[in-house]
Chain A
Amino acid sequence: MLRSIEQWQHLDDTSFVSIIYTMVVKARKFKVTIDKNWCKGCLLCVALCPKNVLAMQRNKAYVADAEACTGCQLCEIYCPDFAISVSKISEKNDE
Protein backbone atom coordinates (compact mmCIF):
# COMPACT_ATOMS: atom_id res chain seq x y z
CA MET A 1 0.00 0.00 0.00
CA LEU A 2 2.72 2.47 0.93
CA ARG A 3 4.48 1.99 -2.36
CA SER A 4 7.06 4.71 -1.71
CA ILE A 5 7.59 7.38 0.88
CA GLU A 6 8.53 10.17 -1.59
CA GLN A 7 5.00 10.42 -2.96
CA TRP A 8 3.73 11.48 0.48
CA GLN A 9 6.30 14.22 1.28
CA HIS A 10 4.60 17.03 -0.69
CA LEU A 11 1.16 16.56 0.91
CA ASP A 12 -0.10 18.79 3.77
CA ASP A 13 -1.62 17.18 6.87
CA THR A 14 -5.34 17.18 6.09
CA SER A 15 -5.11 15.55 2.66
CA PHE A 16 -2.56 13.10 4.03
CA VAL A 17 -5.06 11.99 6.70
CA SER A 18 -7.95 11.74 4.24
CA ILE A 19 -5.95 9.51 1.88
CA ILE A 20 -5.06 7.16 4.69
CA TYR A 21 -8.72 7.00 5.80
CA THR A 22 -10.10 6.19 2.34
CA MET A 23 -7.44 3.58 1.76
CA VAL A 24 -8.15 1.78 5.03
CA VAL A 25 -11.95 1.85 4.61
CA LYS A 26 -11.93 0.89 0.94
CA ALA A 27 -9.30 -1.83 1.41
CA ARG A 28 -11.08 -3.17 4.42
CA LYS A 29 -13.04 -5.79 2.57
CA PHE A 30 -12.86 -9.32 3.90
CA LYS A 31 -14.56 -12.54 3.00
CA VAL A 32 -15.71 -14.98 5.66
CA THR A 33 -16.17 -18.52 4.38
CA ILE A 34 -17.93 -21.20 6.41
CA ASP A 35 -17.69 -24.95 5.81
CA LYS A 36 -21.23 -26.12 6.57
CA ASN A 37 -20.05 -29.77 6.94
CA TRP A 38 -17.54 -29.03 9.64
CA CYS A 39 -19.56 -26.39 11.54
CA LYS A 40 -21.11 -28.03 14.62
CA GLY A 41 -23.28 -25.02 15.48
CA CYS A 42 -21.47 -24.26 18.74
CA LEU A 43 -22.43 -20.55 18.47
CA LEU A 44 -18.95 -19.29 19.42
CA CYS A 45 -18.31 -17.34 16.23
CA VAL A 46 -21.77 -15.80 16.27
CA ALA A 47 -21.47 -14.78 19.93
CA LEU A 48 -17.91 -13.47 19.82
CA CYS A 49 -17.96 -11.58 16.51
CA PRO A 50 -17.74 -7.88 17.51
CA LYS A 51 -19.66 -6.75 14.42
CA ASN A 52 -22.51 -9.31 14.34
CA VAL A 53 -21.42 -10.47 10.91
CA LEU A 54 -22.52 -14.05 11.63
CA ALA A 55 -25.81 -15.70 12.61
CA MET A 56 -27.26 -19.18 12.93
CA GLN A 57 -29.45 -20.93 10.37
CA ARG A 58 -30.66 -24.49 10.98
CA ASN A 59 -27.92 -24.98 13.59
CA LYS A 60 -25.13 -23.83 11.27
CA ALA A 61 -23.36 -20.49 11.22
CA TYR A 62 -23.73 -18.33 8.14
CA VAL A 63 -22.58 -14.87 7.05
CA ALA A 64 -25.50 -12.53 7.74
CA ASP A 65 -23.76 -9.18 7.16
CA ALA A 66 -20.55 -9.54 5.11
CA GLU A 67 -20.01 -5.78 4.78
CA ALA A 68 -19.64 -5.33 8.53
CA CYS A 69 -16.64 -7.63 8.74
CA THR A 70 -13.48 -5.80 9.86
CA GLY A 71 -11.20 -8.81 9.29
CA CYS A 72 -10.39 -9.18 13.02
CA GLN A 73 -10.36 -13.01 12.60
CA LEU A 74 -11.88 -13.65 16.05
CA CYS A 75 -14.36 -16.04 14.45
CA GLU A 76 -11.48 -18.02 12.94
CA ILE A 77 -9.57 -17.98 16.26
CA TYR A 78 -12.55 -19.15 18.32
CA CYS A 79 -13.90 -21.77 15.91
CA PRO A 80 -12.86 -25.10 17.38
CA ASP A 81 -13.57 -26.97 14.16
CA PHE A 82 -11.62 -25.17 11.39
CA ALA A 83 -15.04 -24.45 9.89
CA ILE A 84 -14.59 -20.74 9.35
CA SER A 85 -11.86 -18.73 7.68
CA VAL A 86 -11.39 -15.06 6.94
CA SER A 87 -9.62 -13.93 3.80
CA LYS A 88 -8.68 -10.48 2.52
CA ILE A 89 -10.18 -9.35 -0.79
CA SER A 90 -7.61 -7.21 -2.61
CA GLU A 91 -8.94 -4.79 -5.36
CA LYS A 92 -7.74 -7.00 -8.22
CA ASN A 93 -9.93 -10.06 -7.70
CA ASP A 94 -12.92 -8.26 -6.24
CA GLU A 95 -16.03 -10.39 -6.96
Chain B
Amino acid sequence: MFNYDKYLRTDKLPHIWCTGCGCGIVLKSMLRAIERSKIPQDDIAVVSGIGCSSRTPGYLDFNTLHTTHGRAIAFATGLKLAKQKLKVIVVTGDGDATAIGGNHFIHAARRNLDMTVVIYNNYIYGMTGGQVSPTTPAGKRGSTAPYGNVEPAFDISRLAIAAGAPFVARSTCYHAVQLDKYICRGIKKKGFSVIEVLSPCPTYYARPNRLGNVVDMMEWYKNNSLQIEVARHTPEEEKKDKITIGILHDTERPEFCEVYQQLSAQAKKKYVE
Protein backbone atom coordinates (compact mmCIF):
# COMPACT_ATOMS: atom_id res chain seq x y z
CA MET B 1 0.00 0.00 0.00
CA PHE B 2 2.78 2.45 0.91
CA ASN B 3 4.55 3.87 -2.13
CA TYR B 4 8.22 3.21 -1.36
CA ASP B 5 9.31 3.80 -4.95
CA LYS B 6 8.91 7.54 -4.51
CA TYR B 7 11.95 7.52 -2.20
CA LEU B 8 13.92 4.64 -3.69
CA ARG B 9 16.57 4.44 -6.38
CA THR B 10 14.71 1.42 -7.71
CA ASP B 11 17.41 0.71 -10.31
CA LYS B 12 19.75 -0.11 -7.42
CA LEU B 13 17.45 -2.83 -6.03
CA PRO B 14 17.41 -5.68 -5.06
CA HIS B 15 19.76 -4.71 -2.24
CA ILE B 16 22.77 -6.65 -0.95
CA TRP B 17 21.53 -7.51 2.56
CA CYS B 18 21.33 -11.18 3.61
CA THR B 19 18.17 -13.24 3.95
CA GLY B 20 16.19 -12.00 6.93
CA CYS B 21 18.51 -9.07 7.65
CA GLY B 22 16.73 -6.29 9.52
CA CYS B 23 18.27 -3.50 7.42
CA GLY B 24 15.48 -3.66 4.84
CA ILE B 25 12.83 -3.42 7.55
CA VAL B 26 14.43 -0.38 9.18
CA LEU B 27 14.94 1.27 5.79
CA LYS B 28 11.23 0.89 5.00
CA SER B 29 10.27 2.26 8.39
CA MET B 30 12.54 5.25 7.77
CA LEU B 31 10.83 5.95 4.45
CA ARG B 32 7.39 5.80 6.06
CA ALA B 33 8.63 8.18 8.75
CA ILE B 34 10.05 10.57 6.15
CA GLU B 35 6.75 10.51 4.28
CA ARG B 36 4.95 11.32 7.52
CA SER B 37 7.35 14.18 8.30
CA LYS B 38 6.47 15.80 4.92
CA ILE B 39 10.03 17.12 4.49
CA PRO B 40 10.80 17.75 0.79
CA GLN B 41 13.13 15.17 -0.75
CA ASP B 42 15.62 17.82 -1.91
CA ASP B 43 16.14 18.98 1.66
CA ILE B 44 16.98 15.55 3.06
CA ALA B 45 20.59 14.34 3.33
CA VAL B 46 21.28 10.78 4.43
CA VAL B 47 24.80 10.24 5.70
CA SER B 48 26.26 6.86 6.61
CA GLY B 49 29.54 5.34 7.70
CA ILE B 50 30.76 1.86 6.81
CA GLY B 51 28.98 -1.42 7.46
CA CYS B 52 25.86 -3.26 6.38
CA SER B 53 23.46 -0.58 7.54
CA SER B 54 25.62 2.13 5.99
CA ARG B 55 24.79 0.83 2.52
CA THR B 56 21.27 2.26 3.06
CA PRO B 57 21.85 5.71 1.47
CA GLY B 58 22.84 4.09 -1.86
CA TYR B 59 19.26 2.89 -2.24
CA LEU B 60 17.58 6.16 -1.22
CA ASP B 61 16.69 9.03 -3.53
CA PHE B 62 17.97 11.87 -1.35
CA ASN B 63 21.28 13.78 -1.07
CA THR B 64 23.27 10.76 0.02
CA LEU B 65 26.77 10.57 1.49
CA HIS B 66 28.54 7.31 2.26
CA THR B 67 31.54 8.27 4.38
CA THR B 68 34.40 6.55 6.22
CA HIS B 69 33.98 4.05 9.05
CA GLY B 70 32.68 5.71 12.19
CA ARG B 71 32.78 9.23 10.83
CA ALA B 72 29.26 9.73 9.46
CA ILE B 73 28.25 12.01 12.31
CA ALA B 74 31.39 14.15 11.88
CA PHE B 75 30.77 14.52 8.12
CA ALA B 76 27.12 15.27 8.87
CA THR B 77 28.18 17.98 11.33
CA GLY B 78 29.95 19.91 8.59
CA LEU B 79 27.12 19.34 6.11
CA LYS B 80 24.48 20.54 8.57
CA LEU B 81 26.39 23.59 9.75
CA ALA B 82 27.18 24.69 6.22
CA LYS B 83 23.59 24.32 5.04
CA GLN B 84 21.16 24.39 7.91
CA LYS B 85 18.14 24.02 5.65
CA LEU B 86 19.17 20.36 5.18
CA LYS B 87 17.42 17.78 7.31
CA VAL B 88 20.30 15.44 8.09
CA ILE B 89 19.65 11.78 8.83
CA VAL B 90 22.63 9.65 9.84
CA VAL B 91 22.36 5.92 9.24
CA THR B 92 24.90 3.87 11.17
CA GLY B 93 25.47 0.56 12.87
CA ASP B 94 26.32 -0.42 16.43
CA GLY B 95 30.03 -0.80 15.60
CA ASP B 96 30.16 2.20 13.26
CA ALA B 97 28.49 4.47 15.83
CA THR B 98 29.85 3.28 19.16
CA ALA B 99 33.17 1.62 18.46
CA ILE B 100 35.29 3.57 15.96
CA GLY B 101 32.65 6.33 15.83
CA GLY B 102 32.04 6.57 19.57
CA ASN B 103 33.92 9.81 20.04
CA HIS B 104 31.91 11.61 17.35
CA PHE B 105 28.65 10.13 18.63
CA ILE B 106 29.00 11.38 22.20
CA HIS B 107 30.30 14.79 21.19
CA ALA B 108 27.52 15.45 18.68
CA ALA B 109 25.05 14.42 21.40
CA ARG B 110 26.75 16.77 23.87
CA ARG B 111 26.62 19.63 21.35
CA ASN B 112 22.98 18.84 20.56
CA LEU B 113 23.42 19.34 16.84
CA ASP B 114 20.16 19.05 14.90
CA MET B 115 20.36 15.62 13.21
CA THR B 116 18.58 12.29 13.42
CA VAL B 117 20.78 9.26 14.05
CA VAL B 118 19.26 5.87 13.27
CA ILE B 119 21.46 3.11 14.71
CA TYR B 120 20.85 -0.39 13.37
CA ASN B 121 21.99 -2.45 16.35
CA ASN B 122 22.49 -6.06 15.23
CA TYR B 123 24.93 -6.84 18.07
CA ILE B 124 27.75 -7.76 15.63
CA TYR B 125 29.98 -6.52 12.80
CA GLY B 126 28.06 -7.95 9.87
CA MET B 127 29.84 -6.58 6.80
CA THR B 128 33.25 -7.88 7.83
CA GLY B 129 31.99 -11.30 8.77
CA GLY B 130 30.66 -11.48 12.33
CA GLN B 131 33.24 -10.04 14.68
CA VAL B 132 32.04 -9.00 18.11
CA SER B 133 31.06 -5.35 18.51
CA PRO B 134 30.64 -3.07 21.54
CA THR B 135 27.03 -4.22 21.80
CA THR B 136 27.65 -7.98 21.55
CA PRO B 137 26.35 -9.34 24.88
CA ALA B 138 29.02 -10.83 27.15
CA GLY B 139 29.38 -14.54 26.58
CA LYS B 140 27.94 -14.48 23.08
CA ARG B 141 30.12 -15.76 20.21
CA GLY B 142 31.66 -13.80 17.35
CA SER B 143 34.36 -14.62 14.83
CA THR B 144 36.82 -12.78 17.06
CA ALA B 145 35.39 -14.23 20.25
CA PRO B 146 35.21 -17.96 19.49
CA TYR B 147 35.08 -18.79 23.20
CA GLY B 148 32.46 -16.19 23.99
CA ASN B 149 32.64 -12.40 24.23
CA VAL B 150 34.78 -11.36 27.20
CA GLU B 151 33.52 -7.79 27.21
CA PRO B 152 30.22 -6.47 28.53
CA ALA B 153 28.12 -4.46 26.07
CA PHE B 154 27.22 -0.78 25.75
CA ASP B 155 23.64 0.27 26.24
CA ILE B 156 23.60 2.65 23.29
CA SER B 157 20.46 4.48 24.35
CA ARG B 158 21.70 5.16 27.85
CA LEU B 159 25.06 6.22 26.39
CA ALA B 160 23.23 8.73 24.16
CA ILE B 161 21.15 10.05 27.07
CA ALA B 162 24.23 10.37 29.28
CA ALA B 163 26.05 12.27 26.51
CA GLY B 164 23.18 14.77 26.34
CA ALA B 165 20.99 13.71 23.43
CA PRO B 166 17.58 15.30 24.13
CA PHE B 167 15.58 12.67 22.20
CA VAL B 168 16.39 8.97 22.48
CA ALA B 169 14.08 6.16 21.43
CA ARG B 170 14.65 2.45 21.05
CA SER B 171 12.68 -0.10 19.10
CA THR B 172 13.22 -3.44 17.42
CA CYS B 173 12.53 -4.70 13.93
CA TYR B 174 9.60 -6.62 15.39
CA HIS B 175 8.11 -3.33 16.58
CA ALA B 176 8.45 -1.84 13.08
CA VAL B 177 5.19 0.11 13.18
CA GLN B 178 6.18 1.83 16.45
CA LEU B 179 9.56 2.53 14.88
CA ASP B 180 7.96 4.74 12.22
CA LYS B 181 6.64 7.01 14.96
CA TYR B 182 9.98 7.26 16.77
CA ILE B 183 11.95 8.04 13.60
CA CYS B 184 9.38 10.63 12.58
CA ARG B 185 9.49 12.22 16.04
CA GLY B 186 13.28 12.20 15.81
CA ILE B 187 13.23 13.86 12.39
CA LYS B 188 10.88 16.56 13.57
CA LYS B 189 12.79 17.14 16.82
CA LYS B 190 15.04 20.22 16.72
CA GLY B 191 18.22 18.69 18.16
CA PHE B 192 20.28 15.49 18.30
CA SER B 193 17.84 12.61 18.18
CA VAL B 194 18.90 8.98 18.44
CA ILE B 195 16.77 6.03 17.44
CA GLU B 196 18.36 2.68 18.29
CA VAL B 197 16.81 -0.23 16.44
CA LEU B 198 17.54 -3.81 17.43
CA SER B 199 17.88 -5.50 14.07
CA PRO B 200 18.30 -9.22 13.38
CA CYS B 201 21.53 -10.50 11.78
CA PRO B 202 20.65 -14.11 11.00
CA THR B 203 23.91 -14.80 9.18
CA TYR B 204 26.54 -13.61 11.61
CA TYR B 205 24.82 -13.23 14.97
CA ALA B 206 22.03 -15.78 15.08
CA ARG B 207 23.85 -18.68 13.41
CA PRO B 208 27.13 -18.67 15.47
CA ASN B 209 25.06 -18.26 18.62
CA ARG B 210 22.46 -20.89 17.59
CA LEU B 211 19.55 -18.42 17.94
CA GLY B 212 17.59 -19.90 15.01
CA ASN B 213 16.38 -17.97 11.98
CA VAL B 214 15.01 -14.48 11.67
CA VAL B 215 11.54 -15.55 12.78
CA ASP B 216 13.02 -16.91 16.02
CA MET B 217 14.87 -13.61 16.51
CA MET B 218 11.65 -11.68 16.02
CA GLU B 219 10.05 -13.96 18.57
CA TRP B 220 12.93 -13.20 20.92
CA TYR B 221 12.47 -9.44 20.45
CA LYS B 222 8.76 -9.82 21.13
CA ASN B 223 9.26 -11.77 24.34
CA ASN B 224 12.26 -9.85 25.67
CA SER B 225 11.20 -6.28 25.16
CA LEU B 226 9.27 -4.14 27.59
CA GLN B 227 7.50 -0.94 26.71
CA ILE B 228 9.01 1.95 28.68
CA GLU B 229 5.57 2.91 30.00
CA VAL B 230 5.26 -0.58 31.52
CA ALA B 231 8.91 -0.81 32.50
CA ARG B 232 8.54 2.27 34.71
CA HIS B 233 6.26 0.30 37.03
CA THR B 234 8.06 -3.04 36.76
CA PRO B 235 10.23 -4.05 39.71
CA GLU B 236 13.94 -4.10 38.91
CA GLU B 237 14.21 -7.84 39.35
CA GLU B 238 11.64 -8.62 36.67
CA LYS B 239 13.03 -6.32 33.99
CA LYS B 240 16.67 -7.11 34.64
CA ASP B 241 17.38 -8.74 31.27
CA LYS B 242 14.50 -7.22 29.35
CA ILE B 243 15.10 -4.52 26.75
CA THR B 244 13.09 -1.38 27.35
CA ILE B 245 11.72 0.09 24.14
CA GLY B 246 9.80 3.23 23.39
CA ILE B 247 10.66 6.90 23.81
CA LEU B 248 13.25 6.61 26.55
CA HIS B 249 14.13 10.30 26.74
CA ASP B 250 12.51 13.43 25.36
CA THR B 251 13.52 16.85 26.67
CA GLU B 252 14.28 20.25 25.27
CA ARG B 253 17.84 21.59 24.97
CA PRO B 254 19.17 24.62 23.07
CA GLU B 255 20.14 23.40 19.60
CA PHE B 256 23.72 24.02 18.45
CA CYS B 257 22.96 25.82 15.16
CA GLU B 258 20.47 28.17 16.82
CA VAL B 259 22.84 29.08 19.65
CA TYR B 260 25.66 29.58 17.16
CA GLN B 261 23.50 31.83 14.99
CA GLN B 262 22.54 34.02 17.93
CA LEU B 263 26.20 34.44 18.90
CA SER B 264 27.22 35.18 15.32
CA ALA B 265 24.48 37.77 14.93
CA GLN B 266 25.84 39.69 17.92
CA ALA B 267 29.43 39.29 16.74
CA LYS B 268 28.48 40.54 13.28
CA LYS B 269 26.58 43.53 14.62
CA LYS B 270 29.55 44.62 16.72
CA TYR B 271 31.92 44.04 13.79
CA VAL B 272 29.90 46.05 11.29
CA GLU B 273 29.60 49.05 13.61
> B24 to A47, Cβ gap below 8 A?
no
Distance between Cα atoms of A71 and B22 in the complex (Å): 22
> B-facing mask of A38-80, CB < 8 A → 1, else 0?
1011111001100000000000000000000001010011111
A11 to chain B minimum Cβ distance, whole angstroms, is 31
> A47 to B215, Cβ gap below 8 A?
yes
> B176 to A38, Cβ gap below 8 A?
no
A22 to chain B minimum Cβ distance, whole angstroms, is 23
Interface size class of A (residues with CB under 8 A): 20 to 34
Question: In the complex where A43-B214, A82-B13, A88-B1 touch, is A77 in contact with B20 (Cβ < 8 A)?
Answer: no
Q: Which residues of the other chain, A, contact B15 by a CB distance below 8 angstroms?
A: 81
Interface residues of B in 47-92 (CB under 8 A from A): none
Interface residues of B in 190-223 (CB under 8 A from A): 202, 213-215, 218
Distance between Cα atoms of A27 and B20 in the complex (Å): 33
Is B28 engaged at the interface, CB distance under 8 Å to the other chain? yes
Q: Nearest CB to that of A41 among chain B residues?
A: B19
Q: Nearest CB to that of A83 among chain B residues?
A: B14
> B20 to A42, Cβ gap below 8 A?
yes
Distance between Cα atoms of A88 and B8 in the complex (Å): 22
Question: In the complex where A77-B25, A78-B176, A80-B17 touch, is A42 in contact with B1 (Cβ < 8 A)?
Answer: no
> B19 to A87, Cβ gap below 8 A?
no
Distance between Cα atoms of A86 and B1 in the complex (Å): 5
> B20 to A40, Cβ gap below 8 A?
yes
Partner of A73, one of B1, B14, B22: B1
> B218 to A48, Cβ gap below 8 A?
yes
Distance between Cα atoms of A87 and B1 in the complex (Å): 5
Is B177 engaged at the interface, CB distance under 8 Å to the other chain? yes
> A-facing mask of B17-37, CB < 8 A → 1, else 0?
111111111001100000000
Is B2 engaged at the interface, CB distance under 8 Å to the other chain? yes
Partner of A47, one of B8, B29, B176, B218: B218
> A-facing mask of B146-158, CB < 8 A → 1, else 0?
0000000000000
Cross-chain pairs A/B with CB under 8 angstroms, 7 sampled: A37-B14, A48-B215, A48-B218, A71-B1, A78-B173, A78-B176, A80-B17
Excluding A42-B213, A76-B1, A85-B1, 20 further A-B contacts by CB distance (< 8 Å) are A38-B13, A40-B18, A42-B215, A43-B20, A43-B215, A44-B218, A47-B215, A73-B2, A76-B2, A77-B25, A77-B29, A78-B25, A78-B218, A80-B22, A80-B23, A81-B15, A82-B4, A82-B14, A87-B1, A88-B1
Sorted nearest first, the 5 A-B pairs with minimum C-beta distance are A80-B24, A42-B20, A40-B19, A47-B215, A42-B19
